[in-house]
Amino acid sequence: MSFKFTKTSAALIVSVCFSQAAFAETDEAMQKEINILAERIEALEKQRREGESNATELARQGESILDKSSGKTLVTSEAGVFQVTPNTSVKFGGYLQADVIHDTRFDNGEYFNAGGTPDSSAKDQSNSYLTARQSRLNMLTTTDVGTGTPLQAFFEIDFMGSMANEIMSNSHNSRLRHAYLRYGRYMVGQNWSNFQDFVGYPELLDIASPAGRVFVRQTQFRVDVGQFAFSIENPETQAIQGTAIQAESLGGIGRDSAPDFVASWRGGNGGAQGSYQLSGLLRQLSVDGTVNGVDYDESNTGWGFNTGARWDLGRTVLKANAAYGEGIGRYINNGWANDIRLNDDGSVDLITSWGLSAAVEYKWTPRTASTLSYGHFHNEDDIGAFDTESLNTYRANYRWYPLDRLMVAGEIMHATRNFIDGRDGDNTRFQFSVRKSF
């Protein structure tokens, strides 16, 4: 129940109160006092009505403003965005994912690494594993710098770094995924390589991509010019003698004399007509040092290309990619071939490797979907590359979205590995996942 003050009601109340006062003024003086009090009460009532109206308007806009003058707008109308200063907003994202994993032949670790598949002579040792390490958190800041182009910063971590114990705490170290600045056409920092494509990347549960796909995050300086992008990126020469890796970061004799250079083109009209990406890579690969009494001092130019495509056909989406090159082994996922082979006579050879993948995604209902994916990697080095000649991965999943931003899904993964000496092996993994995005 609400009660509103008016001049008449105020006058009546005050009159009753003052009529019995022993120190009452004359009738004329009393009437003046009553009118003054009534006006003050009506002014207070007007302020109350205006306050309620303002609060209703703010609620309608979905905003809560504490101090406009100091820029402390805590919540804007866009979910998950916080206005921390008058010209800077912060948006948080990521997801929490819990996985139940079962390998039928051997423990393949926290992600499905087809390149680690043992040969068929290895003893079968099935393994089950429950983990939440794939969960990730990211933050995007957007700052108005007064030029009409915002300055953005993106930072993301997950927990796929070095693994701690599973005995008691199940603590795991965080890992840097992304950390970059973007201003219009310019980007600097750690991001997905410009050589990598995402138009052909399938929807999967496991964090590892199909065999044969380019899959690299690294620090770079990139500029976009229309549909083209050019970048210089972190180099890492990965040489190998036999199966002993000689990458610079591992204390080997690989030398990085110049950044990797990447140029890419992205285009297409989308939909059934397709979206496309084509990327080219040039690398300066050098070795300088002694391994097993043999001296090496040589430089070579590595090169490669990567192409991806996507076609949206209503409820069906087709995706594909292919990569090929010499000295690009570290860019290709699951095979992780090397870049340079060290020969016993002191000479070196660039290693040729290639890969391809294809996927079909189908939307059964508005809340259910599936992916069928195939990937192939091939290494033409007849000595090293972890003894791998070729890999194949086959993956299928079913995804259900019972609530907004909540996924419940299952995936089957199968890998085959062919060794350089003729051996082969395989492994199958079953994974059940629950993911809540935010």
- For residues 228 and 348, membership in a common domain is answered with yes
- For residues 125 and 167, membership in a common domain is answered with yes
- For residues 81 and 34, membership in a common domain is answered with no
Q: Compute CA distances 314 → 321, 344, 363, whole Å.
A: 21, 56, 9
| In-domain check, residue 68 | no
Q: What's the rounded Cα separation, in Å, for the pair 161 and 315?
A: 37
- For residues 136 and 14, membership in a common domain is answered with no
| In-domain check, residue 300 | yes
| In-domain check, residue 238 | yes
Structural domain for 283, as ranges? 73-437
- For residues 16 and 118, membership in a common domain is answered with no
Domain CATH for 338: 2.40.160.10
- The alpha-helical segments, DSSP class H, found in 299-422 are none
Per residue of the chain (438 residues), give pLDDT as tens: 444 444 444 444 444 344 444 434 445 555 566 566 566 666 666 665 555 555 444 444 443 333 333 333 344 446 678 888 999 999 999 999 999 999 999 888 788 888 888 899 888 889 998 999 999 999 999 999 999 999 999 999 999 887 767 777 888 889 999 999 999 999 999 999 999 998 999 999 998 889 999 999 999 999 999 999 999 999 999 888 877 788 888 888 999 989 999 999 999 999 999 999 999 999 999 999 998 889 999 999 999 999 999 999 999 999 999 999 999 988 987 656 788 888 889 999 999 999 999 999 999 999 999 999 999 999 887 655 457 889 999 999 999 999 999 999 999 999 999 988 889 999 999 999 999 998
- Contacts for 417 with CB less than 8 Å, ≥ 6 apart: 114, 115, 117, 119, 388, 390, 391, 424, 425, 426
- For residues 48 and 113, membership in a common domain is answered with no
- For residues 237 and 298, membership in a common domain is answered with yes
- For residues 235 and 272, membership in a common domain is answered with yes
Half-sphere exposure of residue 397, counting CA atoms within 13 Å on the CB side?
Answer: 27
| Global model pTM greater than 0.85 | no
| In-domain check, residue 1 | no
- For residues 51 and 185, membership in a common domain is answered with no
Tell me how many domains the chain contains: 2
| In-domain check, residue 221 | yes
| In-domain check, residue 2 | no
- For residues 219 and 321, membership in a common domain is answered with yes
- The alpha-helical segments, DSSP class H, found in 239-365 are none
| In-domain check, residue 297 | yes
Strands (E), 76-132: 81-85, 88-103, 127-131
| In-domain check, residue 67 | no
- For residues 163 and 30, membership in a common domain is answered with no
Which residues are registered as beta bridge partners of 410?
Answer: 398, 432
- For residues 151 and 29, membership in a common domain is answered with no
